[in-house]
């Protein structure tokens, strides 16, 4: 009883906000003491979160923690462990900003209007509507898009309709990380591949996402004429200005201030929220603060997984170097297209084996980024984001797969081993070809 009472008092939410403020300060002033303190405070957050995380998260993190601990002890990498916690601290500010953005988006009238317009689509337009709608809404709300779209189906919809709706929503939403800075994928890749401008990865990602959406239409809804498709797309015009404003603001701030995409997002979202509250001129601050606080209590699982993955990444980075594995890969000397194919296919296959995409992304980036592969950083990052998209779409341990299964009442195995697996295989092949061509045409030295 005393332990339960202590657990209620010592909550992780205040620690999240402390680290969020710390990272905002570090955007302007970053003495070493703040970075060191952030790492130790991050340790406290993880310890306070342990009684609250789900069993699935625990099962995922325990073997990763044992692996990281074993490598750290064997190779004497205690410093690398602390560096991993310091790396994770910036993601506290990322999650804080994302929670704030999701709460703000729930109040925005354009989200509500888009949802109302979608309900008026005819039956043969619903598939296209869910594909595009999940992509646009998912670019900001991530898996929250599924909670908005799933209730649009009729309560008595048959199993086949629910499955098709879930698959379409998964395809559209999981293509969003190819360009959206609001996905943890982009933030994670930015930490490992620094120096890629936000506008550069967004432009490349938008092009690849457009190809993916067009391919999904041709593969699964090609019986719908483009005139019908256009009418379905018009239902989401209220969202486009908001999505565009967010993307332009982050890309502009990153370019002008020289910040990474992750840090630009951390700085931009609080400013955007403040501006929105001032323009709306309505007493929404209290509601926003309350919901943001509540939301911060629901991300402990995600933050713990990210932290464990980052610690493992730091340890792996040093251990792989000591083992000479990078030198071995350098001797193999894969062509650029082979490197791109390895990144995408490894992450996709790993997700089918139950390996979380955070771990598979770390592995491929730790191996390939230090090498002279001939693949530009922007192309390497986009390849890893495509791998993440597939892992989210069909991954056994992916949050998006589990969410779609629950929201649309479809067995997870059917979502994993269904049409989206074929889509990932086809789009993966096209992606390797396109990224190889782009690498040769625009990034060849």
Residue-wise pLDDT for 42-56, tens only, equals 999 999 988 888 887
**What residues contact residue 398 under an 8 Å CB cut-off, 6+ apart?**
351, 356, 357, 391, 392
CB-CB contact of 128 with 232 (8 Å): yes
In this structure, the chain runs to a length of: 445
Structurally, the chain folds into a number of domains equal to 1
Q: Are 24 and 262 in contact (CB under 8 A)?
A: no
pLDDT of residue 233 exceeding 80: no
The answer to whether position 215 is within a domain reads: yes
Q: pTM to 2 decimals?
A: 0.81
Q: Which residue has the tokens 């990272």?
A: 23
Q: The domain containing residue 226 runs over which residues?
A: 122-234+324-445
Average pLDDT of span 422-427: 96
pLDDT of res. 240:
75
pLDDT of residue 116: 67
The confidence score (pLDDT) of residue 112 equals: 66
Which tens digits make up the pLDDT trace of 187-206? 888 888 888 888 899 999 99
Q: Is the pLDDT of residue 321 over 70?
A: no
* For the chain, percent of residues with pLDDT exceeding 70: 85
pLDDT at 357 over 60: yes
Which of 184-188, 242-246, 328-332 is predicted least confidently?
A: 328-332
Per the domain annotation, does 294 fall within a domain? no
Query: Which of 7-11, 41-45, 330-334 has the highest mean predicted lDDT (pLDDT)?
Result: 41-45
Quick check: is 282 in a domain?
Answer: no
- The secondary structure of residue 50, as a DSSP letter, is G
Return mean pLDDT, the chain: 83
Give the relative orientation of helices 32-49 and 78-107 as an angle to the nearest 10 degrees: 70
The answer as to whether 292 is a domain residue is no
pLDDT at residue 424 greater than cutoff 70 = yes
Is 44 part of a structural domain of the chain? Answer: no
152, part of any domain: yes
Residue 114 lies in a domain: no
Residue 345 Cα to chain centre, angstroms: 18
Kindly report, residue by residue over 254-285, the tens digit of the pLDDT.
Answer: 888 877 777 888 888 888 777 777 766 555 67
DSSP secondary structure, 341-372, as one string? HHHHHHHHHHHHTT--HHHHHHHHHHHHTTS-
Query: 259 or 167, which is more confident?
Result: 167
Asked if pLDDT for residue 172 goes beyond 90, the answer is yes
Q: How confident is the model at residue 390 (pLDDT cuts 50, 70, 90)?
A: very high
The Cα–Cα gap between 92 and 20 comes to 6
- The arithmetic mean of pLDDT across residues 209-225, rounded, is 87
For residue 324, what pLDDT is reported?
67
Q: What is the pLDDT averaged over residues 319-327?
A: 69
The pLDDT assigned to 121 comes to 64
**Per-residue pLDDT reduced to its tens digit, 64-93:** 889 888 988 888 878 888 888 988 888 888
pLDDT band at 358, cuts 50/70/90? confident
Residue 144 lies in a domain: yes
Higher pLDDT, 335 or 228: 335
């Amino acid at each position: 009883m005393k332990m339960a009472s202590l657990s209620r008092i010592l909550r992780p939410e205040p620690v999240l906000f402390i680290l969020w403020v710390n990272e905002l300060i570090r955007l302007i002033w970053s003495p070493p003491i703040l970075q060191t303190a952030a790492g130790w405070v991050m340790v406290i957050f993880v310890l306070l979160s342990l009684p609250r995380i789900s069993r699935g998260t625990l099962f995922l993190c325990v073997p990763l923690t044992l692996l990281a601990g074993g490598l750290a002890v064997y190779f004497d990498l205690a410093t690398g462990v602390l560096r991993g916690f310091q790396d994770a601290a910036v993601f506290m500010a990322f999650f804080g900003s994302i929670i704030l953005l999701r709460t703000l988006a729930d109040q925005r009238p354009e989200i509500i209007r888009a949802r109302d317009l979608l309900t008026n689509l005819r039956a043969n337009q619903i598939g296209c509507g869910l594909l595009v709608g999940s992509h646009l809404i998912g670019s900001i709300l991530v898996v929250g898009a599924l909670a908005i779209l799933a209730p649009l189906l009729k309560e008595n919809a048959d199993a086949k309709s629910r499955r098709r709706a879930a698959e379409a929503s998964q395809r559209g939403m999981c293509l969003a990380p190819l360009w959206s800075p609001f996905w943890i994928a982009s933030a994670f890749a930015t930490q490992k591949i620094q120096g890629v401008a936000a506008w550069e990865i967004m432009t490349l990602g938008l092009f690849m996402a457009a190809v993916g959406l067009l391919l999904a239409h041709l593969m699964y809804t090609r019986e719908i004429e483009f005139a019908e498709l256009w009418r379905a797309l018009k239902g989401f015009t209220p969202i486009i200005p908001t999505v565009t404003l967010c993307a332009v603001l982050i890309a502009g701030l990153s370019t002008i201030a020289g910040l990474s995409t992750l840090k630009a997002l951390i700085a931009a979202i609080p400013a955007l929220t403040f501006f929105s509250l001032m323009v709306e001129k309505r007493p929404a601050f209290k509601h926003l603060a309350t919901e943001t606080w509540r939301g911060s209590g629901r991300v402990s699982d995600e933050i713990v997984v990210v932290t464990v993955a980052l610690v493992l990444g730091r340890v792996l980075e040093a251990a792989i170097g000591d083992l000479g594995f990078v030198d071995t890969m350098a001797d193999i000397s894969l062509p650029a297209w082979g490197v791109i194919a390895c990144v995408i296919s490894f992450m996709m296959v790993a997700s089918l084996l139950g390996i979380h995409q955070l771990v598979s992304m770390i592995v491929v980036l730790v191996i390939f980024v230090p090498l002279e592969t001939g693949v530009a950083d922007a192309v390497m990052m986009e390849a890893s984001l495509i791998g993440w998209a597939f892992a989210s779409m069909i991954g056994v341990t992916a949050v998006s797969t589990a969410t779609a299964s629950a929201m649309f009442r479809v067995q997870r195995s059917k979502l994993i081993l269904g049409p989206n697996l074929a889509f990932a295989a086809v789009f993966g092949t096209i992606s390797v070809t396109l990224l190889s061509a782009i690498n040769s045409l625009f990034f060849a030295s």
